[in-house]
Structure 1
């Protein structure tokens, strides 16, 4: 049998990131998927002002929803919508422009981050921050993730004071401290 006719071994599934840097679906946790669906629902809510239950029903019918952590999705979506004004009051002082000038994607991502800082204490603050940055990279504008990072990093010491202080006091693994 010539080299050209030999059967090839099956390709291993790829994991990690796509060529654009977005995380591939195979590597996403149920909570990460839940956040993506929450982001889609919040985006729709911000743009349309539609009722939360209508948006929720629509979102649950989207492809891949069955792989999301439904309890996390429910808590974050309904929590963000019901406390939107409170979340905005926390976010606005950290902005360098009016909230109405912020992209709906970045606005929704910030809602998710602030809500999780306040209500999802089982999720470390750095995980919340990183997940929100990834959402903004994947779905937001070119540098939207930097803006989200700045706002949420500014709110973390206020909303997770003890946890942030403990992290900053702990030396980094390389012994150089936590300057980042």
Structure 2
């Protein structure tokens, strides 16, 4: 007869350590400083889109949030202020790829797309696949049920235009789809 201890009967099975939550998004501990910066930028851009709050006030509020010290503050600053300062240009690039009016797009989806387009245009050190994957992850974690699919479609539509050489090189090498390099090491 095998002897069992009370704790072995009540203990749940061991969870795998994939770094992902049940919904497929990354756990906080597995996120890079830049991923965290994008999350804070997304939250700040949401405040800008929904409340039309002043950029300086949003920035000050966001920097005081718990966990901000773990974010890449320089990247957050560039993305937040870059998106706000070029919002009309970002919208002009996004709008032709939409199947509805810009005002009908969720603020989370819109902010995710702004971040992606901004990074495609101004953050050349970040591979296009990483930008795409990171924005999809933002939409999955903070947006509606299928919002990430919309973000994916729009950014995939813009990538060949905004990162033509990089996208063409990937296609020539036989790489297809949004899968990004391993975790967000960025310099992959």
Q: TM-score, normalised by structure 2?
A: 0.85
Q: C-alpha distance in 2, partners of 1:166/1:48?
A: 41
Alpha-carbon separation, structure 1, partners of 2:19 and 2:166: 29
Q: Which of the pair has the greater relative contact order for Cα pairs under 8 Å at 6+ separation?
A: 2
Corresponding residue of 1:158: 161
| Residue number in structure 1 paired with 2:181 | none
Q: Secondary structure at the match of 1:21?
A: coil
Query: Which residue is 2:148 aligned to?
Result: 145
Tell me which of 84, 87, 90 is aligned to 1:84.
Answer: 87
* Deviation for aligned residue 1:14: 5.0
Q: Does 1:66 align with 2:89?
A: no
Choose which of 111, 125, 149 in structure 2 pairs with 1:122: 125
> Structure 2 vs 1, CA of residues 123 and 179 (structure 1 numbering), >3 Å: closer, same or farther?
closer
Aligned to 1:105, which of 101, 105, 108? 108
Q: Contact between 1:15 and 1:27, CA under 8 Å: does it hold in 2?
A: no
- Which runs of 5 or more structure 1 residues have no equivalent in the other structure? 6-10, 173-177
Counterpart in the other structure of 1:57: 60
Q: Quick one: distance in 2 between partners of 1:53 and 1:13? A: 42
- How many residues align? The count is 171
Other-structure match for 2:22? 19
For 2:108 and 2:119, the matched residues in 1 are separated by: 17
Instruction: Confirm whether residue 35 of structure 1 aligns to residue 43 of structure 2.
Output: no
What is the CA-CA distance between 1:23 and the residue it aligns to? 1.1
Distance 2:162 2:23 in 1: 32
Distance between the aligned counterparts of 1:44 and 1:13, measured in 2? Answer: 36
Where does structure 2 lack aligned partners over 5 or more consecutive residues?
8-13, 179-188
Aligned equivalents of 1:146, 1:56: Cα separation in 2: 29
Asked if the contact 1:125/1:160 (under 8 Å) is kept, the reply is yes
